[in-house]
Amino acid sequence: MLNLNNAPVSEAPSMERTLIPNGTVCRAVILVKMGDIEIPEFGRGQWFKSSQSSRAKWMELEFTVIGGEHDRRKFWDRIFVDGDKIGQSGIPQAKEIGLQTLRQIIESANNIDPSDMSDAAQQRRNISGVNDLSGMEICAKVGIKKGTNGYSDSNRLIAALTPNQKDFISSGQTPVMQTPAASAVQQQAPAPQQSGVAPSWANR
């Protein structure tokens, strides 16, 4: 038995975690978090989690900021790939959005313009599975997700920016954190909630 009753008590004041400002643009490295189910379409390995009350399925990503004021800070987000609501294409809307996000990540990491349909660009958009995202470095636009059910607000990924966007920071470029003034911050769309609860568009 490990008795910690006599261990020294920390006298350091509790530090309130400060969020990365909403709208900040930075370079960040991705880590794909392990899940508990496999979806063969997205590669081998259990990289996904599923809701107990709907068809919603998602993967969880961890982002580590590289360089600048927020160097080595981390934030997390989810990419949904299934849900109950069917989109205009005939597949779940969650999957439509998830595939779009995955493409943005690949194009951001590989410095590919979305309009580039050359053979080389198309080949670089092919990956063996979502686990290939681990270690990729992207240009990330960071947002803030409102906390619910007792959870505090937290940072999230707004988008992986691509070379055709004016705020894009390329790999190796000296990172100059682009953080909008508070008065210019735009209101963000609702983000996935905690504890496996899917966003409304994944359930309808």
Under 8 Å between Cβ of 96 and 85: no
- What's the whole-model pTM score? 0.79
pLDDT (0 to 100) of residue 149:
84
Buried b (16+ CB within 10 A) or exposed e, 14-49: eeeeebbbbbbbbbbbbebeebeeebeebbeeebbb
Under 8 Å between Cβ of 178 and 24: yes
Query: What are 44-87's pLDDT values in tens digits?
Result: 999 999 999 999 999 999 999 999 999 999 999 999 999 999 98
Q: What is the DSSP letter of 184?
A: G
